[in-house]
């Protein structure tokens, strides 16, 4: 997967774990969102200056001590209510068509944002679309039908414990599973993460 490009739209930062996995595997990941949330795999501001102060012959290592496989995560400031501006900033950061789109966008802005970034995708790029809450009896239709889409439908409570909310780690795991299916070329389908029934006390 080295050298491929992914666009991840998840303003809450809940998909940081997915971005870290892709970056570790060599992906160039662009993360448009309103607020900056650093990933473990990012080089922190000032890191180059600190490295330059080391003695001659010093070999720099990642600040976390882990190898990140040559991948890179780039955050760009963007707002869902300005979809064209978001797409323009993402395009500049991508430097070419995206090979994967992972989108978890508030329902109010979903159609306009995904419509704006569709032109940034490679022709065969798969999409993983995360949807909040139960959507009724019918599974939600993918918004970008020209791209094979894995829809991740989030439940209201954990699949492991009906007495607690769906955890960030559970969500990231479910979305990452959908990313793996998308990259393996699976046909469009919907997958449930967590349970649909409401929390009862």
The predicted-structure confidence for 97-138, as pLDDT tens digits, reads as follows: 999 999 999 889 999 999 999 999 999 999 999 988 655 555
In a domain, 18, yes or no: yes
In this predicted structure, the answer to whether residue 57 has a pLDDT above a threshold of 60 is no
Number of domains in the chain: 1
Q: Let me know if residue 164 belongs to a domain.
A: yes
Residue 186 pLDDT > 80: yes
Residue 198 lies in a domain: no
Model confidence over 70-95: pLDDT tens digits?
789 999 999 999 999 999 999 999 99
Q: Encode 170-186: b = buried (16+ Cβ within 10 Å), e = exposed.
A: bbbebbbebbebbbeee
In this structure, is residue 11 part of a structural domain? yes
Tell if the pTM clears 0.85, that is, is over it.
Answer: no
Q: Are 35 and 79 in contact (CB under 8 A)?
A: no
Position 200 in a domain: no
Q: 146: domain range?
A: 5-193
- pLDDT at residue 30 greater than cutoff 90: yes
Q: What is the CATH number of the domain that holds 142?
A: 3.40.50.720
Q: Confirm whether 201 is domain-assigned.
A: no
Residue 143 confidence (pLDDT) above 90: no
């Amino acid at each position: 997967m080295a050298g491929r490009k992914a666009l991840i739209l998840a303003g809450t930062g809940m998909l940081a774990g997915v971005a870290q996995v892709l970056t570790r595997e060599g992906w160039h990941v662009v993360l448009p969102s309103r607020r900056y949330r650093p990933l473990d795999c990012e080089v922190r501001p000032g890191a180059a200056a600190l490295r330059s102060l080391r003695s001659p012959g010093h070999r720099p290592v990642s600040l976390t001590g882990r190898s990140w496989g040559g991948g890179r995560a780039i955050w760009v400031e963007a707002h869902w209510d300005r979809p064209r501006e978001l797409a323009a900033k993402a395009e500049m950061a991508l430097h070419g068509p995206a090979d994967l789109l992972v989108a978890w966008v508030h329902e109010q802005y979903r159609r306009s944002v995904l419509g704006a970034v569709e032109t940034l995708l490679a022709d065969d790029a798969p999409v993983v679309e995360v949807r909040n809450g139960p959507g009724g009896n019918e599974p939600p239709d993918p918004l970008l039908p020209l791209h094979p889409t894995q829809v991740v439908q989030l439940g209201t409570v954990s699949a492991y414990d009906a007495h607690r909310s769906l955890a960030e780690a559970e969500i990231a795991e479910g979305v990452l599973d959908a990313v793996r299916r998308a990259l393996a070329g699976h046909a469009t389908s919907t997958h449930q993460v967590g349970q649909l029934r409401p929390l009862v006390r």
